[in-house]
C-alpha cells in the first residue's frame, strides 16, 4: 500500500527514539565523545542531550566521566563512554576453510574472537552446525541468560535469503536450499534474533565501519575468497535487492568467449579473477587455498614468469570488471579484500591504468582503490555489526522493560 518512504506514523516518541539512536550510533561508530561534541554532531541542545544521555546512563548503557581539560577556555564537558557490556552481539562465520566465533559489544569492543581453520571439504549443514556449536559452546553458554545479548549474526559464503536465513546456493560448501537460519536458531537456544547474511556484504559493512572504507559515501567492496563477491555500500548499507541476493558481482559476464563457470553460465568475472583461475594459470593446484596463493604471490615477486603472468592476468581482468562497476555505481572508493587485497601491491598500477582506459572519465576521476584493512576477520566483525544494529537503531527498546514486550509480542 504505502511505500516505506511514507515513514508511517510519527509521533513525539518517534523523535525521542531517533535522537537516542543518533547518540548511540555516534558513540558506537566514533567512540567516547563529550556531551558537547554530541550536541554539535546531532544539532540537539544541551538540555536535550542532558536528558537523553542521562537516560542512557541511568539504564547503564553509557558511563559519564570527567574529561581531562582540553586546554580551551570554558567548563569541561564530561566524556560519554559506551558501556561495551551493555549490548552484546554473537557473531558466527561459516567459511570454506574456517569457522569463527566472536562476541562484540556496544562501541565495537571485541570481547572474544576465535577462529579455527579446517580443510576445505563439502560438509553437510548438520555437520557444520554441530561443529560450529561445539566451537562456540563457551560463548553460547556465557550469553544464554545475558539480557545484554541483542542479536546473533551469521556470515556465510553463499547466496542467502535475508528473510529467514535460507542458503539458496553455496557452491563452495556444496549447499543448495539449506535452512541454516532455522538450524542455528534451534541449536543455539538463545533468546535473540538471528540473521544470516552473505559474507561479502558483511565484510563490506565491517570495512565501512571499522576499516579501510570508514565513513566513505559510496563504496564498492570486492573480495575474492574461493568465489568472487562484493557489493555497493550506500551510507554503510549494502544493496539488498528483492530478497538479499544482490551483490553477486563475481557472476557478471565479462567474457562470453571464456570458460564455463560453476554457476552454469559462461565467462563470469570469477572465471578470470577468482582464486582458482589464478592458481591454475600460475600452474598451481586449483584447490591449493591460501598457501598456494601466498606461493604465487611470492613467486611473482621473485619474478617467476608463470606466476607473474597469472597475477597480471588477474590485475587486468579485475580492472576491466571494476571499470564496468565504476560506470554502474559511481563509487568514491573501491576496497579490495581477500586475495585481491594480497595481490594489490603487485597490480595497483595496472588497475589504475585499465580504469583510465576503460571507465567513463567523469566517474573515473572520483574513485580511488585501496586494499581492505581488516583481513580475514572482516565478515565475522560485519556480522557482529549487523547483530548490534537493532540496538543501535532503537536503543529506546532496551531501556526500561520494553524489550520483553517487543520480543514477546
Partner DNA sequence: AACATTTGGGTGAGAGGAACACAAATTCTG
Partner DNA sequence: CAGAATTTGTGTTCCTCTCACCCAAATGTT
Residues sharing a CB contact under 8 Å with residue 258, sequence separation 6 or more, in sequence order? 266, 267, 271, 272
Nearest to 249 by CA among 297, 204, 189, 304: 204
Q: Which of 78, 174, 179, 324 binds a copy of itself (CB under 8 A)?
A: 324
Q: Residue 11 or residue 361: which is nearer to DNA going by CB?
A: 11
Shortest distance, position 230 Cβ to DNA, whole Å: 38
Considering only residues 367 through 406, tell me which ones interact with a copy of itself, judged by CB under 8 A. 367
User: Which residues bind to DNA, rule: CB under 7 A?
Assistant: 9-13, 15-16, 19, 34-36, 39, 43-52, 54, 66, 69, 71-78
7 lines the binding site for a copy of itself (CB under 8 A): yes
Provide the CA 187 distance to its chain's centre, in angstroms. Answer: 24
Furthest-apart CA atoms within the chain: distance in Å: 70
121 lines the binding site for a copy of itself (CB under 8 A): no
Pairwise CA distance, residues 244 & 238, whole Å = 9
Residues in the chain: 409
Pairwise CA distance, residues 227 & 289, whole Å = 12
Which residue in this structure is represented by grid cell 535460507?
Answer: 166
76 binds, among DNA, a copy of itself, none (CB under 5 to 8 A by kind): DNA
49 binds, among DNA, a copy of itself, none (CB under 5 to 8 A by kind): DNA
Shortest distance, position 207 Cβ to a copy of itself, whole Å: 15
308 binds, among a copy of itself, DNA, none (CB under 5 to 8 A by kind): none
141 binds, among DNA, a copy of itself, none (CB under 5 to 8 A by kind): none
249 burial via Cβ count (<10 Å: 0-12, 13-18, 19+): buried
Residue 249 contacts residue 325 (beta carbons within 8 Å): yes
51 binds, among a copy of itself, DNA, none (CB under 5 to 8 A by kind): DNA
Considering only residues 233 through 252, tell me which ones interact with a copy of itself, judged by CB under 8 A. 234-236, 239-249, 251-252
264 lines the binding site for a copy of itself (CB under 8 A): yes
Binding track, positions 33-62, relative to a copy of itself; x by CB under 8 A: -------xxxxx------------------
Residue 36 contacts residue 77 (beta carbons within 8 Å): yes
215 lines the binding site for a copy of itself (CB under 8 A): yes
Q: Using the 8-state DSSP alphabet, how is residue 148 labeled?
A: T
User: Could you tell me where the DSSP H helices lie in 189-302?
Assistant: 199-210, 270-273, 275-281, 289-302
Amino acid at each position: 500500500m504505502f511505500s516505506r518512504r511514507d515513514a508511517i506514523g510519527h509521533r513525539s516518541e518517534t523523535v525521542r527514539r531517533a535522537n537516542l539512536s543518533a547518540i548511540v550510533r555516534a558513540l558506537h561508530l566514533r567512540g567516547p565523545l563529550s556531551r558537547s561534541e554530541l550536541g554539535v554532531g546531532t544539532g540537539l541542545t544541551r538540555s536535550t542531550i542532558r536528558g537523553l544521555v542521562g537516560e542512557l546512563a541511568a539504564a547503564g548503557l553509557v558511563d559519564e566521566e570527567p574529561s581531562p581539560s582540553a586546554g580551551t577556555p570554558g567548563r569541561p564537558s564530561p566524556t560519554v563512554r559506551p558501556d561495551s557490556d551493555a549490548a552484546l552481539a554473537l557473531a558466527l562465520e561459516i567459511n570454506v576453510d574456517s569457522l569463527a566465533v566472536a562476541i562484540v559489544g556496544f562501541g565495537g569492543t571485541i570481547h572474544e574472537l576465535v577462529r579455527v581453520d579446517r580443510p576445505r571439504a563439502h560438509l553437510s549443514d548438520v555437520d557444520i552446525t554441530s561443529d560450529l556449536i561445539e566451537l562456540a559452546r563457551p560463548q553460547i553458554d556465557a550469553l544464554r541468560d545475558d539480557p545484554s545479548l541483542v542479536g546473533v549474526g551469521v556470515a556465510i559464503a553463499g547466496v542467502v535469503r535475508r528473510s529467514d536465513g535460507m542458503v539458496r546456493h553455496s557452491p563452495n560448501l556444496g549447499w543448495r536450499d539449506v535452512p541454516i537460519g532455522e538450524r542455528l536458531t534451534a541449536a543455539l537456544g538463545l533468546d535473540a534474533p538471528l540473521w544470516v547474511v552473505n559474507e561479502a556484504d558483511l565484510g563490506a559493512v565491517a570495512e565501512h565501519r571499522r576499516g579501510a572504507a570508514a565513513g566513505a559515501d559510496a563504496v564498492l567492496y570486492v573480495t575474492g575468497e574461493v568465489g568472487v563477491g562484493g557489493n555497493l555500500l550506500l551510507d554503510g548499507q549494502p544493496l539488498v535487492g528483492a530478497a538479499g541476493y544482490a551483490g553477486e558481482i563475481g557472476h557478471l559476464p565479462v567474457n562470453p568467449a571464456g570458460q564455463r563457470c560453476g554457476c552454469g553460465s559462461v565467462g563470469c568475472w570469477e572465471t578470470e579473477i577468482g582464486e582458482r583461475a589464478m592458481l591454475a594459470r600460475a600452474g598451481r593446484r586449483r584447490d591449493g587455498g591460501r598457501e598456494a596463493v601466498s606461493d604465487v604471490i611470492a613467486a611473482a615477486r621473485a619474478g617467476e614468469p608463470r606466476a607473474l603472468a597469472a597475477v597480471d592476468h588477474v590485475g587486468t581482468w579485475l580492472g576491466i570488471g571494476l571499470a564496468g562497476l565504476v560506470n554502474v555505481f559511481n563509487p568514491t572508493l573501491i576496497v579490495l579484500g581477500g586475495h585481491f587485497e594480497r595481490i594489490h601491491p603487485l597490480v595497483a598500477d595496472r588497475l589504475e591504468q585499465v580504469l583510465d582506459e576503460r571507465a567513463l572519465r567523469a566517474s573515473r576521476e572520483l574513485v580511488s582503490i585501496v586494499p581492505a584493512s581488516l583481513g580475514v576477520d572482516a565478515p565475522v566483525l560485519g556480522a557482529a555489526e549487523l547483530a548490534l544494529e537493532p540496538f543501535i537503531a532503537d536503543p529506546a527498546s532496551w531501556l526500561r522493560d520494553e524489550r520483553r514486550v517487543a520480543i514477546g509480542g
